[in-house]
Structures are given as C-alpha cells and as structure tokens.
Amino acid sequence: MSTHFVTDTATMLGRSMRHITRSMDTIITTALTPIAMMLLFVYVFGGAISTDTDNYVDYLLPGIMLMAIASGIAYTAVRLFTDMKSGIFERFHSMPIARSSVLWAHVLTSLVSNLITVAIIVLVGLLMGFRTSADLLAWLAVAGILTLFTLALTWLAILAGLSAKTAEGAGAFSYPLIFLPFISSAFVPTSTMPGPVRAFAENQPVTSIVNTIHSLFAGQPVGNDIWIALAWCVGILVLTYVLAMRVYRRKIS
C-alpha cells in the first residue's frame, strides 16, 4: 500500500468525517431506534421471554448492536450515491489522487460512525443493568468481530450506493438486514422456534455472531461459533469488495 494511497485516503476521510461531525444527528438517529427496541424488549417483553441469563439486557445487547450496524450502513450507501450524483467524484478523479481512496474514505467513515453508535448503545445497556465477566481480551475479540461485521456490511452498502438509481433505493437494501436479527438467536433462543424457522435461524450469519458475543461476554468458551461467524464475515467482505470494485471501475472508466 503506497504512501500516496494512505495520504489520499486520510484526506478524503477527513472530508467525510467533517460531514458527520457537522451532522451528528445521523449517529444519534441511528442509535435511537435500536435503543428504543432495547428499552421495549427489556421493560415490556423481557419478563415473558425465557433465556439463560438473569437479566434480559445481557442476552439482548449483542443483537441490538448488530441491528444498529445494519441500520447505520444505509447512510453510507446514501452518502456515496449523493456524491456520485453531485459530480464530486468526477472532480476528485480529475485530481492526482488514488481513485480507490474515495471509496475507502466512505468505508472508514462508516466504520468510525458505526463504532461510535455501538459505544453509545453499550453505555445505555450499562445504565439498564448490563453486566459482563468479559476480560480485556474478550472485549477486544468482540470489538474485532463487530469491526469485521461492519466492514462486510459497509462494502455491501458501497455496492448498493454505486448501483442504485435513487437515494431511496440506495438505502432500502438495509431493511432486510435490520430485520435479520429477529430471525436469529438475538432476541430468543433458536430452540424455541418451529422447525423451518429454527433451521433458517441457526444457519444464517447473525446467529453465529450473536452466539459468539454472548459467550465472550459471559466468559465462556466460544466453540465453533466464532469460526462460523468469521467465515460469514470474511466471505461477505471479500465478495462485496470484489463486486463493488468491479462496479466502481466500470463507473469511472
């Protein structure tokens, strides 16, 4: 990776982050819905849901974090689409900069903003009684998995932003991703689900990621879930990166 690319990406990242810091309502709005869901499920439905934890927020928090990330990446797709349509990409490409740095700036902006959102949700979870026996290594593992998950979904958002015809279409792809945690182990154990639903829930990426984070927070062995989670994240990341770069090169050629 050349110094030229790193410098250009840092410059583009600074531009994108200034847009975020001038409009912090984006991060706040992204965090509000998951927090509202957490409040609703813990204080309204929590007493009727049986899990292996004493406090339902301990069980719920990992799924809420993934839902927040799935919601946040929609803004990445919309920001990229807006840049494409405004003509700013053509101006950047007329300058002596690494062309891929423009995309990577959007990716890193998504990563930073989503991790801020997740941090806000964890703080709210702590106020609601979330407790964990995770040590520093386990917390770093959780952060690593969430980072990888965010990057995988962000490159999917990049692909959507490059391919969309309208701003609404750029963000609409995230709706199924936001819904996906509901059909997983994020809210209830999969053992309580009927056969076909359980089969789907146990073989989709959110369940393995949630189970891994549950185990890390509880200080328990993660088993095979972590390898399944990593395989899903890396597979989605590689596939969406390759497709997004192919579409991007076609757009700028």
| Predicted local distance difference test score (pLDDT) of residue 21 | 61
How many domains does the chain contain in total? 1
- % residues pLDDT > 70 (the chain): 81
Average pLDDT over residues 111-121: 90
Query: Which of 46-50, 67-71, 230-234, 249-253 has the lowest average pLDDT?
Result: 46-50
| Residue 57, Cβ density class (10 Å: 0-12 exposed, 13-18 middle, ≥19 buried) | buried
- Domain holding 177, by residue range, is 3-252
56-106 pLDDT tens trace: 899 999 999 999 999 888 888 888 888 777 766 666 656 656 666 778 888
| Predicted local distance difference test score (pLDDT) of residue 197 | 93
| Predicted local distance difference test score (pLDDT) of residue 224 | 92
| Predicted local distance difference test score (pLDDT) of residue 18 | 65
Question: 63 near 187, Cβ under 8 Å?
Answer: yes
Q: What is the pTM of this model?
A: 0.87
The DSSP 8-state label assigned to residue 99 in this structure reads T
Neighbours of 218 (CB within 10 A): 17
Distance CA 108, CA 125 (A): 25
CA separation, residue 118 to residues 56, 153, 169, 172 (Å): 18, 15, 25, 21
| Predicted local distance difference test score (pLDDT) of residue 125 | 94
